[in-house]
Chain A
Amino acid sequence: MIRFDRVVKKFDGGSVAVDNLSFEAQRGEITVLVGPSGCGKTTSLRMINRMIDPTSGQILLDEQPVGQIAPAQLRRGIGYVIQHAGLFPHRTVLDNVATVPRLAGWSKAKARTRAHEVLELVGLPGDYAVRYPSQLSGGQQQRVGVARALAADPSVMLMDEPFSAVDPIVREQLQDEFLRLQRELGKTIVFVTHDIDEAIKLGDKVAVLEVGGRLAQLAEPAYLLAHPINDFVSDFIGRDRGYRALAFQDAPDFPLRPEPTVELGTTPAQARLATSDGWLLVVTDGRPQGWIEPQRITVPIESAMLHRGGTVARNHGPLRAALDAALSAPSRRGVVVDDDGRLLGTVRADEVLRAIDAAERPAIDPADIAPAESP
Chain B
Amino acid sequence: MITQVWQWLTSASSWEGSAGIGHRLLQHLEYSAITVLIASALAIPLGLWIGHTGRGRWMVTAANSLRAVPSLGLLFAVALWLGPKLHGNSAYVVPSIVVLVVLAIPPLLAGAYAGVAGVDPAARDAAHGMGMTEGQVLLQVEVPCALPLMLSGVRSATLQVIATATIASAVSLGGLGRFLIDGLALGEYNVMAGGAIVVALLALGVDTVLAALQAAVVSPGLSGGTSRFRGRRTRTDRGQPTASENEPGVVGVVAKG
Q: Interface residues, chain A, CB within 8 Å of chain B?
A: 35-43, 49, 51, 71-77, 80, 82-92, 99-100, 103, 131-138, 141, 145, 148-149, 158, 160-161, 164-166, 168, 192, 194-197, 209, 211, 235-236, 238-239
11 contacts between A and B (CB under 8 A): A76-B131, A83-B122, A84-B233, A84-B235, A86-B122, A86-B129, A100-B131, A134-B226, A134-B229, A194-B256, A236-B253
Known contacts A36-B257, A90-B221; 13 further A-B pairs (Cβ under 8 A): A41-B257, A51-B129, A71-B131, A80-B126, A84-B122, A132-B219, A132-B226, A195-B242, A209-B257, A235-B251, A238-B250, A239-B248, A239-B249
Question: Complex Cα distance A36/B254, Å?
Answer: 7
Contact with A along B200-234 (1 / 0, CB 8 A): 00000000000000000011111010111110111
Q: Is the CB of B233 within 8 A of A134?
A: yes
**A194–B245 CA distance with the chains assembled, in angstroms:** 10
Contact, CB under 8 Å: A235 / B249: yes
| Interface: B120 (CB within 8 A) | yes
B130 contacts A37, CB within 8 Å?
Answer: no
Task: Report the separation of the CA atoms of residues A100 and B133 in the bound assembly, to the nearest whole angstrom.
Answer: 12
Q: In the complex the two chains form, is B129's CB within 8 Å of A82's CB?
A: yes
Q: Is the CB of B131 within 8 A of A196?
A: no
The residue that A83 contacts in the complex, of B124, B130, B238, B251, with Cβ under 8 A, is B238
In the complex the two chains form, what is the Cα distance from A165 to B256 in whole Å? Answer: 12
Query: A73 contacts which chain B residues (CB < 8 A)?
Result: 131
Give Cα A88 to B120, complex, Å.
9
Is the C-beta of B255 less than 8 angstroms from some C-beta in chain A?
Answer: yes
* Inter-chain contacts of B127 with A (CB < 8 A): 86, 88
User: Complex formed: what's the CA distance from A103 to B124 in Å?
Assistant: 15
Bound complex: CA A345 to CA B147 (Å)? 64
- Asked whether, in the complex, the Cβ of A135 is within 8 Å of the Cβ of B227, the reply is yes
Residue from A77, A194, A239 having most chain B Cβ neighbours under 10 A: A194
Q: With an 8 A cutoff between CB atoms, is B42 at the interface?
A: no
Min CB distance A235 to B, Å, is 6
- Say yes or no: is B183 at the interface (Cβ < 8 Å to chain A): no
Q: A164-B238, A238-B244 are in contact. Are A38 and B257 (CB under 8 A)?
A: yes
Is B53 an interface position by the 8 A CB rule? no
Q: Does B141 contact A (CB under 8 A)?
A: yes
Tell me which residues across on chain B come within 8 A of A75, comparing CB atoms: 128-131
Q: How far is the CA of A40 from the CA of B133 in the complex (A)?
A: 26
Q: Does B136 contact A (CB under 8 A)?
A: yes
A138 vs B236: C-alpha distance when bound (angstroms): 13
Given A135-B226, A161-B256, A209-B257, also A87-B126 (CB < 8 A): yes
Q: Could you tell me the distance in whole angstroms from the C-beta of A97 to the nearest C-beta in chain B?
A: 11
Q: Check B243 for interface membership: any CB of A closer than 8 A.
A: yes
Say whether, besides A86-B122, A89-B219, A89-B221, A37 and B128 are in contact (CB < 8 Å).
no
Residues of chain B within 8 A (CB-CB) of A196 are 244, 250, 253
Q: Which 3 A-B pairs have the closest CB atoms?
A: A86-B126, A132-B221, A76-B131
Contact of A194 with B131 in the complex, beta carbons under 8 Å: no
B145 part of interface (Cβ distance < 8 Å): yes
Task: Using A72-B132, A84-B235, A238-B250 as known contacts, say yes or no to A135 and B256 having CB atoms under 8 A apart.
Answer: no
Given the complex, which residues of A lie within 8 Å of B252, measured CB to CB? 36-37
Q: Which residues from A are CB-within-8-Å of B144?
A: 88, 90
Which residues from chain A contact B234 at a C-beta distance below 8 Å? Answer: 138, 165
- Closest CB in chain A relative to B104 CB, distance in Å: 26
Asked whether A134 lies within 8 Å of B227 as measured between CB atoms, the reply is yes
Most buried by B among A49, A103, A137: A103
Max chain B C-beta neighbours (<10 A), residue from A49, A192, A236, A238: A238
Q: Which residues of B contact A165 (CB under 8 A)?
A: 234, 237-238
- For B77, the chain A residues whose CB sits under 8 A away are none
B255 closest partner in A (C-beta): A37
Q: A90-B145, A138-B232 are in contact. Are A36 and B237 (CB under 8 A)?
A: no
Which residues of chain B are within 8 angstroms of A100 by Cβ–Cβ distance?
130-131
**Cβ–Cβ contact B219 & A90, under 8 A:** yes
Bound CA–CA A158/B130 (angstroms) = 11
CB distance from A108 to the nearest CB of B (A): 14
- CB of A231, distance to nearest CB on chain B (Å): 11
Q: In the complex, what residues of A have CB within 8 A of residue B82's CB?
A: none
- Give chain A residues whose Cβ lies under 8 Å from the Cβ of B253: 36-37, 194-196, 236
What residues of B have a CB within 8 angstroms of the CB of A211 in the complex? 257
Query: Complex formed: what's the CA distance from A132 to B242 in Å?
Result: 29
Per the bound structure, the CA–CA distance linking A80 and B123 in Å amounts to: 12
In the assembled complex, which residues on chain A have CB atoms less than 8 Å from the CB atom of B125?
Answer: 51, 82, 86
Q: Is B257's CB under 8 angstroms from A238's CB?
A: no
Partner of A141, one of B147, B222, B233, B235: B233
Could you give, for residues 126-167 of chain B, a 1 whenever the CB lies within 8 Å of some chain A CB and a 0 otherwise?
A: 111111110010001100110100000000000000000000
Q: Are B233 and A76 in contact (CB under 8 A)?
A: no
A134: chain B residues within 8 A (beta carbon)? 221, 224, 226-227, 229-230, 233
Do B255 and A86 have beta carbons less than 8 Å apart? no
Contact between B251 and A88, CB atoms less than 8 A apart: no
Among candidates B129, B136, B221, B257, residue contacting A42 with C-beta atoms closer than 8 Å: B257
**Contact indicator B257/A43 (Cβ below 8 Å):** yes
Chain B residues whose CB sits within 8 angstroms of the CB of A235 once the complex forms = 249-251
- Is A103 a contact partner of B136 (Cβ separation < 8 A)? yes
**Are B131 and A74 neighbours in the complex by a CB distance under 8 Å?**
yes
Asked if A72 contacts B122 (CB within 8 A), the reply is no
State in angstroms the CA–CA spacing of A192 and B255 once bound together: 12
**Chain A contacts for B219, CB-based, 8 A:** 89-91, 132
Contact between A89 and B256, CB atoms less than 8 A apart:
no
Decide if A37 touches B256 in the complex (CB within 8 Å): yes
Q: How far is the CB of A198 from chain B (nearest CB, A)?
A: 9
Question: Which residues of B have CB within 8 Å of A148?
Answer: 126, 130
